[in-house]
Amino acid sequence: MSSKTVKCDLLVIGSGAAGMAAALKAASEGHSVIVAEKSQWLGGTTAISGGWAWVPGNKQGVAQGDTRQEIETYIRALAKDCYKAEMVDTFLDEVPEAIDWLERDTDVEFVYPEMAPDYQMDAPGAKPSGRAISGKVVDARTLGENRLRLRPYLDTYTVFGYMPEVGPDIAQFLHANQSWKSFAYVSKKLLKTWAETVLCRRSFDRTNGNSLMVRMVSSAAKLGIRMWTETPVTKILQSENGVVTGAVLGGVHAGTVEARLGVVIAAGGYSSDPALRAEYWGHDPHGDNHFTPTVGHDGDNVRLAAPLGGHVDTDVHEPAAWAPVTVFTGLRGQQRIFPHLRAFGLPGLIAVNRKGERFANESSSYHDFGMAMIQDNVGQNETFGYIIADSKAMNKYGIGYAKPWPIPQGYFKKTGFLHKAGTVEELALEIGVDVAGLKKTLAEFNAGAAKGEDPKFNRGSNWFHHFKGDMEHQPNPNLEPLDKGPYYAARSRWATSAPTRVWPSTGTARSSTTTTSRSPDSSPPVPRPSASSAAATRATAPTSGPPSSSDTPSAGTPRSSRRCGANPSRRPFWKRSDMPFFLVRYTYTGDTAGRDEHRPEHKSHLQAAADRGLILGSGPFAAGEEPGAAMIYEAAGKQDVVDVVDADPFRTHGFVASYDITEWIPMIGPWAVAAVGGRS
């Protein structure tokens, strides 16, 4: 692995929407930018999120009559004693401007839905629309060779590979087994998705957060931003007087980056770090009562910012956005997580606790539902509940990942996602909840639901509730008695759906979704990124301007087909990731003695690449009279292969006369491994 020094104006750590927005703005002003991404994919949590952002004061909302006073009133009602006027002012001043800039000067386009209600519709200042926006569907072929470098969808959240858009698209899927028109619509979407996946490794139409990242990565490529994957940042560098000067990188691009304007840390939160959870979350004192469906939140923000004076701010209403999830084991033994962000608000589904009692309004936001579940489990060793459905609801809607009729239920039951029993009593015994409590709960709920009412929690009483329900269901989009067996259940656990944030202690590190910072010299301010679903930290000195925050629904986690330390070539091709294969052919010089001297370094370099799953096989190759070698790589893009080849000691010491790289047809690649390297 080479140790090199690279110079740029700005280094951005993390490739989600927050980091990429900062990179785009800086590059658009003529600054050279490097984006360092720890994982093998670009896009961060944003790429697998719903892709919605809460942007009050946007052009559409203002045109509909939304006012600054109403927005501030709404935020104040939610934040309560944690309301920070200066922070809110900065947020409301800067975020709409950032969104306008992205649409005006980059490839990014947003949709302004007619119906996108605030989460707390009963709070003063709430609006049924005009504040939430989402990414517009895009053809991923605009990314060119970067298409397969983008993080794929969370597969548990797709419908057989297709990711429905939040809104009307989901409504069509919701009624696919009830309407011929919806069935035809869904069939067309699925057939297109499957054909493109078979022929081109991934479908072209990208939706939700993935569409936003397609447009951002496309814009970054046009601006010449260097996007380095599999490149973790291990340390932020400072001068003697405390000015951030760059960072030390590991992985594929190991070395030092000297960043003239400083470093933006947009590396996610800490919800995947048990020690940090135990330290900062009172309801997870041992760090083992939590699951993280999002990605990249392993505490790098905290660890990198702490030496610069950063600290975790505990003066917040809630330290993260909570969400219910079901954790289950796939048929190959891997842990899988499905986030329940919407389904439990549908008619005929309720959530109960150990006692068989309802503990929350199932049509509230996933965050409010998560808070209620935490509160209901205070004093317990484990935080959980159950989502219950009868056969009517199961056949019509399913329960989250468990699909409705006519999809067979065998897989969902075999993996432990779904429980089924003939009667209420049998279901209660199977899942371990109080039988009498569950029977009483259903009797009370059914009596109100039959009339379209929920006396206990007022479920189905406002626009947001209806948004999460079935708008075609009457008399209430969220209510239906559970009175027809068999009965079903899915266990709901506790998770975060959005990152936690790091705030400044001394002014040298600042973290939020939008930040204004001034570079340590006389250069113009580093431009502000947009509101997004990831936390961005601006690490430089001095800084100016308070941070602000946004409410962006985001969820999910990818299921990588690459296991840590495992070589993908040892698995059948249908179990592999969807990255392309590359044939690399070296031609050596005639200096055999020189090659032998550096052969140990060469082998060590290749082994490191093989351990990361990049090199799948190798063998001899001859170009005319000159000896050489041929290798099969599996990488997100050609540049990743070039970087590994150029860092090979044989190459750096001048023993490689030339080399060429050819992308292989996807279906040929796996068998070529055996032909070239003898491994399969």
* Number of Cα atoms under 13 Å in the Cβ half of residue 379: 1
Q: Are residues 614 and 661 in the same domain?
A: yes
Alpha carbon distance 513, 14 (integer Å): 13
Q: Are residues 446 and 526 in the same domain?
A: no
- Of all residues in the chain, the percent with pLDDT exceeding 90 is 43
Average pLDDT over residues 497-512: 43
Average pLDDT over residues 235-261: 94
Grouping H, G, I as helix, E, B as strand and the rest as coil, residue 415 is coil
Residue 668 has a pLDDT of: 40
pLDDT digits 0-9 by tens, 591-608: 777 788 888 888 888 877
For residues 297 and 499, the answer to whether their CB atoms sit within 8 Å is yes
Alpha carbon distance 322, 556 (integer Å): 12
CATH code (residue 364): 3.90.700.10
Which residues in 343-352 are b (16+ Cβ under 10 Å) and which e?
bbbbbbbbbb
Average pLDDT over residues 199-220: 92
Please enumerate in sequence order all residues whose Cβ is within 8 A of that of 244, keeping only pairs 6 or more positions apart, or say none.
Answer: 236, 237, 238, 259, 262, 263, 308, 508, 520, 539, 540, 541
Average pLDDT over residues 170-183: 80
Alpha carbon distance 226, 402 (integer Å): 41
Residue 319 has a pLDDT of: 77
Quickly state the pLDDT bin for 496 (edges 50, 70, 90): low
Mean pLDDT of the chain: 80
User: Cis omega before residue 475 (within 30°)?
Assistant: yes
Question: Which of 77-86, 379-388, 438-447 has the largest mean confidence?
Answer: 438-447
User: Cis omega before residue 670 (within 30°)?
Assistant: no
Chosen domain end from 497, 526, 554:
497
Residue 106 has a pLDDT of: 96
Q: Are residues 416 and 471 in the same domain?
A: yes
DSSP 72-140: HHHHHHHHGGG--HHHHHHHHHHHHHHHHHHHHHSS--EE--S----S-TTSTT--SSSSEEEEPPEEG
Q: Are residues 531 and 608 in the same domain?
A: no
Most distant CA atoms of the chain, gap in Å:
88
Give how far Cα 286 sits from Cα of 274, 277, 281, Å.
Answer: 8, 8, 10
Q: Are residues 514 and 477 in the same domain?
A: no
> Does residue 186 form part of some domain?
no
> Does residue 53 form part of some domain?
yes
Range of the domain at 404: 321-497
Residue 341 has a pLDDT of: 79
> Does residue 560 form part of some domain?
no
Average pLDDT over residues 146-170: 83
> Does residue 291 form part of some domain?
no
CATH code (residue 98): 3.50.50.60
By C-alpha distance, which of 523, 526, 5, 522 is closest to 258? 5
Q: Are residues 444 and 398 in the same domain?
A: yes
Who has greater pLDDT, 415 or 157? 415
For residues 108 and 127, the answer to whether their CB atoms sit within 8 Å is no
Give how far Cα 198 sits from Cα of 163, 191, 448, Å.
Answer: 16, 11, 49
Lowest mean pLDDT among 145-154, 231-240, 249-258, 309-318: 309-318
- Helix ranges (DSSP H) in 270-386: 274-280, 300-305, 366-376
Quickly state the pLDDT bin for 489 (edges 50, 70, 90): very high
| Residue indicated by tokens 């039988």 | 435
pLDDT digits 0-9 by tens, 95-129: 999 999 999 999 999 999 888 999 999 999 999 99
Residue 284 has a pLDDT of: 67
In terms of DSSP bridges, do strands 33-36 and 226-228 run parallel, antiparallel, or are they unpaired? parallel
Alpha carbon distance 330, 210 (integer Å): 24
Answer whether residue 276 shows pLDDT above 60. Answer: yes
Q: Are residues 88 and 135 in the same domain?
A: yes
Alpha carbon distance 293, 556 (integer Å): 5
Q: Which helix (H) or strand (E) element contains residue 390?
A: strand 384-390
> Does residue 236 form part of some domain?
yes
pLDDT digits 0-9 by tens, 516-541: 333 333 333 333 333 333 333 333 33
Residue 519 has a pLDDT of: 37
Q: Are residues 520 and 599 in the same domain?
A: no
pTM as predicted: 0.71
* Number of Cα atoms under 13 Å in the Cβ half of residue 237: 16
Chosen domain end from 464, 481, 497:
497
Number of other residues whose CB lies within 10 A of the CB of residue 117: 21
Quickly state the pLDDT bin for 212 (edges 50, 70, 90): very high
Grouping H, G, I as helix, E, B as strand and the rest as coil, residue 619 is strand
Q: Are residues 491 and 506 in the same domain?
A: no
Residue 663 has a pLDDT of: 67
Alpha carbon distance 185, 202 (integer Å): 20
> Does residue 267 form part of some domain?
yes
Lowest mean pLDDT among 200-209, 423-432, 496-505: 496-505
Q: Are residues 457 and 526 in the same domain?
A: no
> Does residue 337 form part of some domain?
yes
Three-state SS string across 40-56, please?
A: CCECCHHHHCCCEEECC
Please enumerate in sequence order all residues whose Cβ is within 8 A of that of 674, keeping only pairs 6 or more positions apart, or say none.
Answer: 617, 680
Q: Looking at the 3D structure of the chain, how many domains does it have?
A: 3
Q: Are residues 358 and 490 in the same domain?
A: yes
For residues 66 and 56, the answer to whether their CB atoms sit within 8 Å is yes
Q: Which amino acid is at 623?
A: A
Please enumerate in sequence order all residues whose Cβ is within 8 A of that of 363, keeping only pairs 6 or more positions apart, or say none.
Answer: 345, 459, 460, 464, 465, 466, 468, 469, 478
Q: Are residues 80 and 225 in the same domain?
A: yes
CATH code (residue 628): 3.30.70.1060
> Does residue 556 form part of some domain?
no
By C-alpha distance, which of 287, 194, 230 is closest to 35? 230
Average pLDDT over residues 22-34: 96
Lowest mean pLDDT among 147-156, 458-467, 579-588: 579-588
Average pLDDT over residues 428-434: 96
DSSP 444-508: HHHHHHTTT--TTT-TT-SHHHHHTS-TTSSS-TT-----SSSEEEEEEEEEEEE----EESSSS
